[in-house]
Structure 1
């Protein structure tokens, strides 16, 4: 099973040097990104990121230790101001990716976020709700499930696309997702690239246990493509006070995998560190 998406929203907005600091910390965290979420200093949501990354970020920013699910039975209205999760593990930019995992698609998560926005307007008024959403910082990190759990695991997309064409389809879907999010009111959106998914235990080659080079190449192709699209979005949408940024996690994680002895030692069963 691969990993997936994140959307972080922070209010009040961070200064550029603070964003760089957050980027540096995020890229040195050794966790698999798998969901999308929204995080705010006084206000935190998540549309999809791995539990460790999400809880690390929420805790470091002093928001709270646990994010209740938006569709949970125990959700209180006050949680809309302090943080809720829209996460649905197993989804991706490709609408077909979420079906085998019975997950909420990226489109479905945006619909839930629109529903959240309506509730927020009812709770604090349209002006304050607009401010809360527009002053946030959002991070998204999808694509890994699309490649590992869809393209390389289910034959349908492989019959429709060769790998470069499928990656282009994902990039186009990611851009559309971003523009929809931007149109809802999100103005600062960061993209975490896809990690080296070919090195996940489930994706390694049987026998040799080597990383799957083709899946890693697909991740690199997506990352380079989305980085170029982010540059284009910045040029086209900066008139609306919108900012987009790319955050690489691929090479740090790959270095950790390939140079693991540098980061620590392997312990045998029962051995203390």
Structure 2
């Protein structure tokens, strides 16, 4: 592949990661099943419907006690203001880059893609349908789907490149060790790929087009969850670090990545904050005890990282004069979705739709051992780690109305 991306045989750490997945599979298959349905659900009307939102108690607060009510959805586009959307991060925003590398962290097989397009095909998106960056690209008036930079079939077109791509790789994180453990594309390598992308844009459309993308495009970054859930807790690969120390390590690496992105010319950068990772189904199962409560340790680190990222963002804005950098705080809003799903049109928020809903994710969520729940639109989570298309649509409405508009106006 070039660009420093490691491919080929898995490292010893990569084999350790496979071992963990095998253990998780054993746990998952030992759990009693649920009533399941293997047909396709109709999400068109449900995912587009407006839902009841929590009462607002303040604007853009970080903790779940202070929530922001999204404004009514609008249909305007920002084609002239935003020429492209360029994305970095993990499986939340990976539209299929992992399809092109040697890793077991993939989602290019059923039942992934259960509700994607007319043919319900798996694309490598870790979801039943579209993912956040698809919705953002659509809201910006760019295109309905944001493609993977390493997309192989069909190959990327000039239009694809000029309107934006995603470099994200499922299983990666700010901590360099996280990408090594999963044998996926590190954040550092994603930045190298971005430099290659810039050269391609310059060759295709000239310096003026590249300058327009750098100055007016939106650059979105979403990572950190795999650092906490996988590297720190599940694999204990940073066991010598306290919660506070590991949070500081993540903030330091995130700051270095963002500094590199801004130094590469990006002027409008949006960073997705850490979610309440301790409340996703798999972490409830692994660390929530018999009652499958939220894991307080996971959430404690997440909130520490978010606090540190807030300080880092201010430092980056001071260093890179003229750049707009915003931390899109989703912690409180997503926590509320998890705690009172009925307010958002869901019936279940502690289990995923795939299989038992307790452990299945990536290779564990497959068409051989994992059936699909009866009505996907009832579920906040598609698998034990990733939200459904419906949940993503609601979450994107929130971040667009409360953060992205501010970034692009």
Gaps of 5+ in 1: 2-19, 29-39
What residue number does 2:274 align with? 194
Query: C-alpha displacement at 1:220, in angstroms?
Result: 0.5
What residue number does 2:87 align with? 46
Residue 185 of structure 2 corresponds to residue 97 of structure 1: no
Deviation digits for residues 111-157 of structure 1 (CA, Å, limit 9, x no counterpart): 11000001111112223312321222222221111111111112231
What residue number does 2:236 align with? 155
* Aligned partners of 2:86 and 2:220 also within 8 Å: no
Distance of aligned partners of 1:183 and 1:27 in 2 relative to their CA distance in 1, 3 Å threshold? farther
Deviation digits for residues 211-264 of structure 1 (CA, Å, limit 9, x no counterpart): 0011001100100111012122223322xx112222110001111212234334
Select 2:307's aligned residue among 184, 199, 224.
224
| 2:239 alignment partner, SS class | helix
Q: Give distance in 1, aligned partners of 2:189 and 2:326.
A: 24
Residue 164 of structure 2 corresponds to residue 83 of structure 1: yes
Query: C-alpha displacement at 1:265, in angstroms?
Result: 6.0
Q: Give distance in 1, aligned partners of 2:251 and 2:198.
A: 26
* Aligned partners of 1:44 and 1:81 also within 8 Å: no
Distance of aligned partners of 1:177 and 1:201 in 2 relative to their CA distance in 1, 3 Å threshold? same
Quick check: which one's helix share is greater?
Answer: 1
Output the TM-score relative to the length of structure 2: 0.53
Deviation digits for residues 183-206 of structure 1 (CA, Å, limit 9, x no counterpart): 100012122210000001000114
Distance of aligned partners of 1:167 and 1:43 in 2 relative to their CA distance in 1, 3 Å threshold? same
* Aligned partners of 1:27 and 1:248 also within 8 Å: no
Query: C-alpha displacement at 1:68, in angstroms?
Result: 2.6
Distance of aligned partners of 1:167 and 1:121 in 2 relative to their CA distance in 1, 3 Å threshold? same
Residue 320 of structure 2 corresponds to residue 237 of structure 1: yes
Gaps of 5+ in 2: 1-20, 22-58, 61-67, 71-80, 94-129, 349-372, 379-409
Query: C-alpha displacement at 1:56, in angstroms?
Result: 1.2
Output the TM-score relative to the length of structure 1: 0.78
| 1:46 alignment partner, SS class | strand
Q: Which structure ranks higher in relative contact order (CA pairs < 8 Å, sequence separation ≥ 6)?
A: 2
What residue number does 2:7 align with? none
Q: Give distance in 2, aligned partners of 1:233 and 1:85.
A: 23
Q: Give distance in 2, aligned partners of 1:27 and 1:124.
A: 41
| Farther off after superposition, 137-146 or 166-175 | 137-146
What residue number does 1:32 align with? none
Structure index of larger Rg: 2
